[in-house]
Structure 1
Amino acid sequence: MFRLAQETADDWWEVEALYDLCFAPGREALSSYRLRDGVPPVAELSLVARDEQDILAGAIRFWPVKIGACRALLLGPVAVHPTHQGEGLGGLLIEESLACAVQENWLRVMLVGDAPYYRRFGFERLSGVVMPPPTNPDRVLGRELLDGAWDGVTGDVRSVADG
């Protein structure tokens, strides 16, 4: 059993330690991190999951980005502690946070990830949406939170800090 809650400032170091544990060294050198520089995560959608002993078991964050004149959410990172992998916690974090995104009136969400894993959550390859290099275009995936939300959205993904 997991308890989901919005990430708070008190969770920050624990969440960062979880991301360090779950991802390769140098994760912050990825192009998606350049889109996050100087931009706070979307607080309402950034969730933590704690187990029965109140130990951090998983976390997910979202960031606002722009593609042309359109706003979108950039999902990630999402991580589950190795002791809880295979229990469906990653899927729970994704689905719960996307349900919150709908309630917060976001229209579209994207990520850079493995299509076979994220397809089960409704993500598909985005053609015409370009992440900063070096990003494999086959890993740029999106999901509509409102029918037609990705229709006609093309261009470079940029940080909201860039205006």
Structure 2
Amino acid sequence: MSSSAVVPSPVPPSILIERPEHARAVEVLVDRAFGPGRFAKSSERLREGNRKLDDCSFVALHDGRVIGSVRLWPVKVGDQAVAFLGPLAVDADERKHGLGQALVEAACAAAAKAGWPAVLLVGDAPYFGRIGFSAEPAARATMPGPADQRRVLVKALVEGGDAGLVGPIGIP
């Protein structure tokens, strides 16, 4: 009879509400993921001078280390308030395991619970389409500055939450 070693299964990361002590690690992760060019993006204009939605922003921790992050921010499209998602960052070594999708789903669930009608983002339609985001309802929502409007996507969190998104996107 041969004995074989039992290999422990890897412990999945924990997804938790971002706390103040995570902030520095999140910034380092986002800087690694996007580089200094992230500050030139139009999405950054919606975060500058804005305050993230603390109850809708999450980190993924593995062995106490931040390996993923997603933040939501309050914005308006015309006169309609929605949550704005970004940045979404996952450590390069942890990608391809569904962690980004799990973070987005956690943020959207928290936003729905907090009463937000929709979540808006700028991103890759094939990736975010799998999570329920679509470009068509956001086609008349205008990002500030230079932006590829085809990448403006929205997900309704309540029936009709993505209706009437017309006008400039800005900080409330």
TM-score (norm 1): 0.94
Task: Give the equivalent residue in structure 2 for 1:50.
Answer: 61
Q: Does 1:137 align with 2:149?
A: yes
Task: Give the equivalent residue in structure 1 for 2:164.
Answer: 152
Tell me how far apart the structure 1 counterparts of residues 29 and 35 of structure 2 sit (CA, whole Å). 11
Tell me how far apart the structure 1 counterparts of residues 108 and 163 of structure 2 sit (CA, whole Å). 19
Corresponding letter in the other structure for 2:67: A
Tell me how far apart the structure 1 counterparts of residues 144 and 73 of structure 2 sit (CA, whole Å). 15
Identity %: 38
1:59-138 alignment to 2 at 5 Å? Answer: 59-125=69-135, 126-138=138-150
Mind listing any 5+ residue stretches in structure 1 that lack a counterpart? none
Corresponding letter in the other structure for 2:61: R
Tell me how far apart the structure 2 counterparts of residues 25 and 38 of structure 1 sit (CA, whole Å). 19
Task: Give the equivalent residue in structure 1 for 2:8.
Answer: none
Tell me how far apart the structure 1 counterparts of residues 32 and 61 of structure 2 sit (CA, whole Å). 16
Task: Give the equivalent residue in structure 1 for 2:5.
Answer: none
- Alpha-carbon shift at residue 24 of structure 1 (Å): 3.1
Q: Does 1:37 align with 2:48?
A: yes
Corresponding letter in the other structure for 2:37: G
- Alpha-carbon shift at residue 96 of structure 1 (Å): 1.2
Describe the superposition over 1:6-59 as per-residue Cα deviations: whole angstroms up to 9, x where unpaired: 1111111100000011113220121111111111100001101101x2111100
Task: Give the equivalent residue in structure 2 for 1:27.
Answer: 38
Tell me how far apart the structure 2 counterparts of residues 151 and 40 of structure 1 sit (CA, whole Å). 25
Say which SS state the counterpart of residue 72 (structure 2) adopts.
strand
Describe the superposition over 1:39-97 as per-residue Cα deviations: whole angstroms up to 9, x where unpaired: 1100001101101x211110000110011211011100011101111111001101111
Say which SS state the counterpart of residue 23 (structure 2) adopts.
helix
- Length, aligned pairs only: 159
Tell me how far apart the structure 1 counterparts of residues 92 and 147 of structure 2 sit (CA, whole Å). 26
Q: Does 1:18 align with 2:29?
A: yes
Tell me how far apart the structure 2 counterparts of residues 55 and 24 of structure 1 sit (CA, whole Å). 20
Describe the superposition over 1:118-152 as per-residue Cα deviations: whole angstroms up to 9, x where unpaired: 10011110211110120011001001001111222
Say which SS state the counterpart of residue 102 (structure 1) adopts.
helix
**Which entry has the higher C-alpha Rg, 1 or 2?**
2
